[in-house]
Amino acid sequence: MREIKITKNEAQQRMDRFLKKYMPEANTGFIYKMLRKKRIKLNGVRANPSDLLKVGDSIQMYLGEDTLKNLKGNQQIAMIKGKIDIIYEDKNLLLVNKPKGLLVHGDDKEKIDTLINRVYYYLNKKGFFNPLKENTFSPACCNRLDRNTSGIVIIAKNYPSLQMINEMIRKNKIQKKYIALVKGKITQKKEIKGYLVKEIKNNTVKIFSEKKKGAKFIHTRYQPLKYNEDFTLLEIDLVTGRSHQIRAHLASEGFPIVGDWKYGNFKVNKKFFQLNSQFLHAYLVHFTDCPKELSYLEGKIFKADLSKNLKEIIQFFSWEDF
């Protein structure tokens, strides 16, 4: 028999959801069957799949060690030593400035050197995270940026904070602002809406003005910070946070981001700046209407510095005072 003690990093979730995280190779039918047959109990008695776990609860699992090993699968956490640019840190959250070129999470080509794996290493060395002592939780990124988009990423150090931050993002209580350099002259702020459809084969998206099958609603606001006859430095307020939203949405409006080789203007990218990635930077987050546990963040604004090459482009236009 294996006994699991519930901590704050597992509490406030359903029994079946916890078990699925704990045994990712187990299907839902198997989990329900084990609960029904009392092979898995909660506090010594029969448990229901919908039971909400609390701190201090105890789960008893009457399964063989070989069975548990197979059902848990390979859950090894990769921790890689690497630079992270810390903007802010407290007991619940870590805000970092992600450089362009670094993935937030692994993909088919790169699984090891990612932002989250660097964070695991950092928190482990500081004594904040030990995967051997966690049942199911690992620190998690609350927002994602494309590989070649730099800027602020919010990481939750514990499960309650992850729940609260995700809920705040869902309800637009954390304002996220970006800076982008686009081709074209924009002199007034604007709010644009549309629908986004993923093109999985070539990892792109398409924007439509009317809803189509499989499309997701998108909402973007922007205002010019600086402009001339040919280019505009924009501040962008991301209301919805879809993959490639800013890049594709602005391009659909006729204002492609400079350096964007997927949605941008090839001639502009090659002739003017020779950037190998888009001039897009998540530079600001603003916390509003925080829950009680995060009330100390109420009204706080955090900013991420631009990288050296982006600053040089700003200097080229003499727009340093934006």
Active-site residue list: 146
Give the C-alpha separation, 130 to 303, whole Å.
29
Phi first, then psi, for residue 146 (nearest 5°) are: -60, 160
User: Which residue, 69, 57, 62, 56, is CA-closest to 23?
Assistant: 69
Contact between 20 and 47 under an 8 Å Cβ cutoff? The reply is no
- Length, in residues, of the chain: 322
CA 17-146-312 angle, to 5 degrees, is: 150
b/e sequence 74-83, b meaning 16+ C-beta within 10 Å: eeebebeeee
For the purposes of burial, counting CB atoms within 10 Å of the CB of 308, is it exposed (0-12), middle (13-18) or buried (19 or more)?
A: exposed
Compute CA distances 257 → 206, 236, 248, 250, 268, whole Å.
16, 12, 9, 7, 10
Which phi-psi region, left, alpha or beta, contains residue 309 (left: φ > 0; alpha: ψ -120 to 50)?
Answer: alpha
CA 291-220-195 angle, to 5 degrees, is: 110
